[in-house]
Amino acid sequence: MNSPLVTTEWLASQTDLSGIFLLDVSVANVVGKTPISYDQLITIPNSYKVSVDRDLSNTEAVGVHVFPTEKQIQSVANNIGFNTQSTLVLYDDQGIYSSPRAWWIFKSFGFEHVFILDGGLPKWRAEGRMTDMVHLVPSGNIVSEDFKLDLSAVKTATDLLVNIETEASTVVDVRAADRFFGRVPEPRPGVRSGHIPKSSNLPFLKVLTSDGLTFKSPNELKVLFEAENFNPTASYIFSCGSGMTACIMLVAAILAGYENVCLYDGSWAEWGADRSLPIEV
Q: Is the pTM value of this prediction over 0.85?
A: yes
Going from N- to C-terminal start, the domains of the chain cover: 5-148, 152-271
Q: What average pLDDT does range 20-31 have in this prediction?
A: 96
Provide DSSP, 36-79: PP-SS--B-TTEEE--TTTTTS-TTSSSSSPPPPHHHHHHHHHH
What was the pLDDT predicted at 62? Answer: 82
Please determine, for residue 1, whether its predicted confidence score (pLDDT) is greater than 70: no
Q: What average pLDDT does range 81-105 have in this prediction?
A: 96
Taking alpha carbons only, the member of 96, 123, 105 closest to residue 205 is 96
Superfamily of domain 152-271: Rhodanese-like domain (3.40.250.10)
In which order are the strands placed within the sheet that holds 261-264?
154-155, 261-264, 236-239, 170-173, 200-201
Q: Tell whether the torsion through CA atoms of 241, 33, 49 and 103 is positive or negative.
A: negative
Q: What average pLDDT does range 198-211 have in this prediction?
A: 98
Residue 6 CA from chain centroid, whole number: 15
What was the pLDDT predicted at 166? Answer: 98
Report the alpha-carbon distance of residue 58 to residue 52 in Å, rounded. Answer: 10
Contact in structure between 240 and 209 (CB atoms under 8 Å):
no
Q: Do 152-271 and 5-148 fall under one CATH topology?
A: yes
The catalytic residue among 77, 202, 207, 240 is 240
Q: For residue 200, what are the β-bridge partners?
A: 172
240 part of the active site:
yes
- Split at pLDDT 50, 70, 90, the class of 140 is confident
Q: For residue 117, what are the β-bridge partners?
A: 6
Q: What average pLDDT does range 217-239 have in this prediction?
A: 97
Q: What average pLDDT does range 110-123 have in this prediction?
A: 97
Superfamily of domain 5-148: Rhodanese-like domain (3.40.250.10)
What was the pLDDT predicted at 2? Answer: 81
Can you state the angle between helices 246-255 and 218-227, rounded to 10 degrees? 110
Q: What average pLDDT does range 209-236 have in this prediction?
A: 97
Taking CA atoms, 180 is separated from 161, 183, 200, 236, in Å, by 18, 8, 9, 17
